[in-house]
Structure formats: structure tokens, C-alpha cells
Structure 1
């Protein structure tokens, strides 16, 4: 296999996968906590559809570009297919029309920025820290 990788352009070194400090968002009471916590620390919700190729691509780009720590903000991951009730409540609570994929930036109990699809990666999170 090593010889084939060398012949066909594979690298002997495996690229280490970047892991973000995701907090699973899978229960409705978490939304109250996020709202409250947003008065002292920026909260970010990433809504992801695990069956959507666009969502996968946008998430991959987001992960690659992400450069923050747990000290900067809290980053929530919402699998909207498995937690549809939570996804629906995010829209009601924070007054944002549902899209997928979607990112919401929450400060002082309100959404200060949101985007969907490719525009997610245009959101400059550093402006909200």
C-alpha cells in the first residue's frame, strides 16, 4: 500500500484531523442556558444536516478555518435531523428562520449574526468575542 501511495500521489504522512471543542446541542433546556451564558461569553450554534453534501462541505471548511479556543466562545453542534425539536425551538427562541447548514452567533440573549450555506464561512467570529 505504501508503494501505491507513493506512485499515485499519496503521502506517507497522514494529515491529522482537526477537532473543534464542540458541545453537543441535543436538549431543549440547553437553549435557556445558552441564552443566559451569552451575557458573559459568546455562544455559537452550528446547525448541521448529516445527510446533506453542502452541509458537510461547509462544515469541513468551517472546521479548517476555525481558530478559537473554549476561552473565546462556546461552540454548539446541532444535528438537526436527530434533534429536530431542538432545531425548531432554536428558530422560535432566537427569531431566525431555519436553514441548513446554519450558524447563529448569540450575545446578550440575542442573535447578533447568522448565516447559512457558504456564507457561514464569511462570518468573522472574532468580531463577537
Structure 2
């Protein structure tokens, strides 16, 4: 997976704007959690650039940017979980999953339906 680090609130505005052109993936990851590490490994098995070249994937390190995670929760009205995967389209979260559901297959399936 080709990740863009999500480190600022301004990037959330860009995600909302860019999501009007193509779906955006946000992966919320805790670097201290073994379940989250397994989910990241499952995500890294795929290539968004190859399968959906118009889409982008953002990676949020929850331990360093919990404030951004809180804004994601408020902005998209999705309760915080970790690990968590959100797909943003037209400025809204159109689908999400967490824990064992976080895998590249989920992304492929969801994006193919948008």
C-alpha cells in the first residue's frame, strides 16, 4: 500500500475536497497494538495505486495524532476504534470497518461498488 501520512487538520479538508473526484481511504493505526499491526500487514498486501489509481490512502498514527482522530470521529460521525478503516466519498464516510475487518479485500470490494 502506498500511504500518505495524515498529520494535519488541513489534510482532512483536502481529503474532503479530493473525495469529490475519487474515494479516499483513511487507515487509523495504533503502533502499540498487535491487532492493529496485523491489520496494517493485511492492508500492505495490496496496491491501491495499481487497483484504483485515482484513489489515495492516508495513514494516521493514533499515538502521535489522537487530536486528528478525534476530528475524524466528529467530522464523519464514526465512533473511534483502532485499528479502523474509513472510505470517504463526496466529503462523507460511505463505509468503514475496524479490527478484523481491516484488510485490503474490504477496500477492493468497497471501492469497486462506488
TM-score (norm 1): 0.79
Q: Which segments of 5 or more consecutive residues in structure 2 lack a partner in the other structure?
A: none
Alpha-carbon separation, structure 1, partners of 2:22 and 2:111? 12
> Which residue in 2 is equivalent to 1:100?
82
CA contact (8 A) 1:42 1:128 kept: no
> Which residue in 1 is equivalent to 2:20?
39
> Which residue in 1 is equivalent to 2:41?
60
Q: 1:110 aligns with which of 68, 92, 99?
A: 92
Shift of 1:125: 3.7
Instruction: Tell me the C-alpha RMSD between the 2 structures.
Output: 1.5
Match of 1:88, SS state, is helix
Higher gyration radius (CA): 1
CA contact (8 A) 1:41 1:107 kept: yes
Shift of 1:61: 1.3
Alpha-carbon separation, structure 2, partners of 1:105 and 1:99? 14
The 4+ residue runs of structure 1 with deviation greater than 4 A are none
Q: Is 1:21 the counterpart of 2:6 in the alignment? A: no
TM-score (norm 2): 0.88
Q: Which segments of 5 or more consecutive residues in structure 1 lack a partner in the other structure?
A: 1-19
